[in-house]
Structure formats: C-alpha cells, structure tokens
Amino acid sequence: MKIRKTFIFLFVILFLAMANDYTISAQGENNQSNFTLDAATRSQVIEGVIKRFNQSYVFPEVAKAMEKSVRERMRKGEYDKITSPTALAEMLTSNLRQISKDTHIEVVFSNKPLPPMNEVEREETEVERENRRLNYARTNNGFLKVERLPGNIGFLDIDQFVAPTFAGDTAAAAMNFLTNTDALIVDLRYCPGGSGEMVALLSGYFFADSIHLGDYYQREADLTKQSWTSPYISGQRYLNKGIYILTSKRTHSAAEAFAYNLQNLKRATVIGEITRGGAHPVGRYLINEHFGIQVPVGRYINAATKTDWEGKGVIPNVPTTADKAFKLAHLTALKRFLEKNPNQERANDIKQLIEKLEKEIS
C-alpha cells in the first residue's frame, strides 16, 4: 500500500475545518489535567499562540488586534492565576474569538502528547491510515441514513464530510439508491464539517458538467487554489430534480460550503436556521507537546458571490427552526413536484400526504 504524505497547506486536506478528531481527543470530558501550570509555561504558551497567529492567520490586521487584546489582558494579570492548562486553553480560545468573531479558532490542551501537525511533514503510517479507516467506517463514512420517504422523496443524512479516499464508494452507493426518487432532502443540521474534497465530489452528482465552486486563498504561502466539482463520479448523477438542504445553528464549515455553493448555483433550496458561520480553512500547530492551536489560514471565495459565509452563516431560503425543517422540506418538495407534474397517477396520494404534513406542521 502506498503511504500518503501529509503536506502543509494542502487545501483539500485543510478544509477539515471543524477539526473534530483533534478537538475531541484534546479536550474531551476525560481530559482532566494531571499537572499544574507554572508562570513560565503559561507565558510560553501565550507567546507561542500570539506568534503563530501573527505568522499564519488569514487577516494580519486581525491577528494584530488579537495580540493587542491578549497583551492587555496579560498586563492586567487576567491570566496570572490560571493554573489549569484546560482553563487556559478555554480562556485563550474565548478571548481570541471575541476579537476575531472567528469560530474556527481553537486553543487545545491534551494530557497525552499531541501528534505532529502542520509544521512537520511526515509519512502517515499504514497503521494510522487503517485506524482512520476503521473510525470512519463505524459511522458509515459520515452517511448516517439513506432513505426513501413517502411520496418518493429521497433523504440523505450526513454528519461528517469524510474524504473520498475513504467515503467515495459510500457516496456512490447512497446516490445509486436515491437515483429514482423525485426530489432529495440532504440533512446537514448536525454536521460540523469535514473534507472539502467530499464537498466537491458530492456536489458533482448534481451537475451534468464540472462546475467551478470557488477558490481558496492561503495567506502565508500567498497561494490560491481553485475548487471544482468532480468531473468523474462512480455513481448515478442526480439531475433536473429538486434538492433541499436542511441546516441549523450547528451546521458548520464544509457542511456550510456544500449548502452555500449549491444555494448560490441555484441548484438547491436551503431550509432551516442560519448556520454557524465558519468559512475559513484551518491549519493546526503545536505550541508544545501538550498545547496546540487551530488557526484559520485562508479564506474561501465563492465563484458566484465572490465572497463567503464567514461570520454571517448561510442564510436559508426558507427560514424555520431546526426541529421543523425536516417536515417543511418534505412538504415543500412534494408541493413543488406536484406543481410540475399535476396530471400524474400519484397526484391524489401526494395531495393527501401534503394535507397530512400541513396538519402536523401547524
């Protein structure tokens, strides 16, 4: 087996923006600190965070503003009494986000030594790769549910965009199952993000040709990389049918990219709540062996809007609560299908189903 090499700032890898594995392993509920911070270590962590943000954060002027705020807090002694490393990580995260309004920023602490991150180019071992494959497989590579709803509406529930290396076949199987449905609901209400590669691959199922989605700009390397839908897919394309994407306040990062792209390409209707608002690709860096940071290192430029959803979130076409979004999407899909196909044999059954859903929603 060929071992994959991990490179700094490979954008399709970097767009694991919510960074679930990293954050959970570092600051899970069982990660109670077994040592006390001394003044020297505390200062070293804070200075390391400031240095890295000045070097890599997407907006240099915001990095300077964050430094100014942190140093003012240092001058006032706000960090001096913090002896818990977890508490320091949480406070720094809160302070940095307060200035930047950037939900991707994260300072993390781990009792166990953290693995090498972006600044170290290294080989991924076969054991590491196999462990990742097994972890993804336990959640069916992020495809939690594929279902045919009453009225022949497809339903696809995704809780993570897993890279096509692992999830490509699962995506193809899901889309093959859904190919004969009359419309599709994609549930991203509980999806915190994932791989930009999977965003491009899955989006490719909904277009006949390859479509330019947008560009990623990375500050430190001064590099721009284009993102297009995948021209080659192994499953059935889903064309000329309605697509409805469910969102909530928890929808984040790559999940937002999927919704934002399809919405602005006029290919999908977004139903639900305004999303969390995290568009920036991230890098991960070690401060020391127990402290790490997640730094937004670039920005996304959508091909249609020439901007992104950072700090604003994806604005739904049909605003509603997360709890009501599913039934409202089902109802909307049935109504629009019936409008386009009024004289077909199933019309009476669909009308009865519409009445039922309207009563349930009201």
Domain boundaries, the chain: 138-279+303-361
Residue 357 has pLDDT above 50, yes or no: yes
Residue 10 clears pLDDT 60, i.e. is over it? no
As a whole number, the mean pLDDT across the chain is 89
The pLDDT, as a whole number, for residue 118 is 58
Parallel/antiparallel/unpaired status of strands 106-109 and 291-296: antiparallel
Question: Which region among 18-27, 227-236, 249-258 has the lowest average model confidence (pLDDT)?
Answer: 18-27
What contacts 350, CB < 8 A, 6 or more positions away? 151, 334, 337, 338
Residues 135-142: what's their mean pLDDT? Answer: 95
Strands across the sheet containing 242-247:
143-149, 153-158, 183-187, 242-247, 269-272, 318-319
- Give the mean pLDDT of 329-347: 91
Assess whether pLDDT exceeds 50 at residue 219: yes
Q: pLDDT tens-digit profile of 118-128?
A: 544 456 788 88
The mean pLDDT of 308-327, rounded to a whole number, is: 96
Give the single-character DSSP code of 317.
S
- Three-class SS state of 104: coil
Give the pLDDT of residue 5: 36
Quote the pLDDT of residue 167: 97
- Between CA 281 and CA 295 the distance in angstroms is 8
CB of 342 closer than 8 Å to CB of 334: no
Architecture of the domain made up of 138-279+303-361: Alpha-Beta Complex (3.90)
Residue 28 to residues 90, 106, 109, 150, 287: CA-CA distances in angstroms?
Answer: 12, 14, 10, 40, 19
Q: What tokens were used for 45?
A: 């962590």
Up-side HSE of residue 353: CA atoms within 13 Å toward CB?
A: 20
- For residue 12, the model assigns a pLDDT of 35
In whole angstroms, give the CA distance from residue 185 to residue 155: 5
**pLDDT, tens digit, 9 for 90 and up, residues 168-202:** 999 999 999 999 999 999 999 999 999 999 999 99
- Looking at residue 32, what is its pLDDT? 56
**Does the pLDDT of residue 38 top 70, yes or no?**
yes
- pLDDT at residue 142 in the model: 97
pLDDT above 80 for 221: yes
